Amino acid sequence: MYHGKYVFSQLFEFLPKYEFEKCIARYQGNYKNKGFTCRNQFLAMSFGQLTNRESLRDTVSCLSAHQQKLYHLGFTFEVNLSTLALANENRDWRIYSDLAQVLLQRARKLYVNDDFGLDIEHTVYALDATTLDLCLSVFWWAAFRKTKAAVKLHTLLDLRGNLPTFIHISDGKMHDVKVLDELAFEAFAIYLMDKGYLDFQRLYRLHQANAYFVTRAKSNLSFARLEARKVDKKTGLRCDQTIKLKVYKSKKGYPEKLRRVKYYDKEQGKTYVFLTNNFELSAIEIATLYKYRWQIELFFKWIKQHLKIKKFWGESENAVKTQIWIAICNYLLVAIVKKELNIEKSLYEILPIISVSMFDKSQLNQLFSEIESNVFPEPVSKQLNLFDL
């Protein structure tokens, strides 16, 4: 039996210490905080998130119950409720935002050759936003409507590895399409977006950056057909056209040609109309590509369920953003561990195993190895059968 480090400690050995210290120094995170450092804050919050704690008090209570083990978990100072809450309120959330970027660059190198289900050379991103509802009387800084508050998590997901490459946290009032102004588009990459991002002026900037987009057309789209290509209607395709916009404002925003692909989904009984500036992929590949946009919906669902961002543990904007970015760091850290240890299980399977194994001393990679059925043979029962004759 392995008698080394705890699973929690092994997990955070994958955290780049030098880069983390650079992030801390950049924002003076440990200034006048020689005891409860940013690393202690990060470990405490990560413990609460990874073990599905309900609050800061719950997190601190669990850590206090294992006071003698804290040093071996990586803590260098006692964790108490007021100190942790104060750190979340006052320490710059950008420390953990920058750390997430460091982890992301490391993760993307590990997943660069992964196949997300469609064999194409382009990097494919899914762009979407999710709204996290809040109480207006508590989170006054995140006003959304008259009676409620909210924050939006605008996310760009790299489908190779389902890695969040860009995250922008805003109040609930910010329209989804405005996040396109914040993005630096990658040449020859494909961006999958729903019709909420249909702004022709912004999409033309994406086109000028030599990037591609696939989005859905609105029902009132006015266009002139320039060319029509034959399609195999057995595949669900209904048309593949080259079009040009007719409405003055739209035409001024996007003066180039567009491609319009119409597809009927038999399973859902719905017809979808796609717009793209990519004329190289086949029409069926365009339709299939858009289906993978749902990976970002799964990402939002998974991270809300497992990384504790649906219920916030602080009231200030800094505390909320700190919690979200530490959650993203944990997600990326698990993604790195999966690749570097060659774990076959998905990210969705790994986290629950980690959550119940924090104080276990098994080797990290052994937690995820399949147990052969013949390792534990069926015991020979000596119990008499009452029905034997």
Question: Please, is 291 exposed, middle or buried when counting C-beta atoms within 10 Å of its C-beta (0-12, 13-18, 19+)?
Answer: middle
Of 14-18, 89-93, 251-255, 299-303, the least confident:
299-303
Question: What is the predicted pLDDT for the residue at 193?
Answer: 95
52: exposed, middle or buried (Cβ count in 10 Å: 0-12, 13-18, 19+): middle
Q: Among the listed ranges 35-49, 229-243, 350-364, which one has the minimum average pLDDT value? A: 350-364
Q: What pTM did the predictor assign? A: 0.85
What is the identity of the amino acid at 164?
A: P
The whole-number pLDDT of residue 137 equals 64
- pLDDT score, position 139: 76
Give the end-to-end CA distance of the chain in Å, rounded to a whole number: 45
Q: Quick check: 86 pLDDT over 50?
A: yes
Q: If you average pLDDT over every residue of the chain, what do you get? A: 87
pLDDT band at 382 (very low <50, low <70, confident <90, very high): very low
- Residue-range domains of the chain with CATH: 7-94+315-366 (no CATH), 114-299 (3.90.350.10)
Residue 252: the pLDDT is 95
pLDDT band at 261 (very low <50, low <70, confident <90, very high): very high
Task: Decide which of 194 and 386 is more confident.
Answer: 194
